[in-house]
């Protein structure tokens, strides 16, 4: 398994947080 660079991981985390926010609503 390759280690993802920070710049590619950040957008994924952002989308996950956004999805969680929508989920809470």
pLDDT of residue 1 exceeding 60, the answer is no
Q: Cα(25)–Cα(19) distance, rounded to whole angstroms?
A: 10
Tokens of 2: 């390759």
Q: What is the DSSP letter of 17?
A: H
Does pLDDT of 19 surpass 60? yes
Threshold 0.75, pTM exceeds: no
24: how many CB neighbours lie within 10 A of its CB? 6
Please report where in the chains the tokens 């957008």 appear, as a residue: 11
Give 8-17 pLDDT, tens digit per residue.
Answer: 778 888 999 9
Confidence (pLDDT) at 3: 67
Tell me the mean pLDDT in the region 1-25.
Answer: 79
């Amino acid at each position: 398994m390759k280690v993802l660079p920070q710049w590619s991981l950040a957008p994924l985390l952002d989308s996950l947080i956004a999805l969680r926010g929508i989920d809470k609503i």
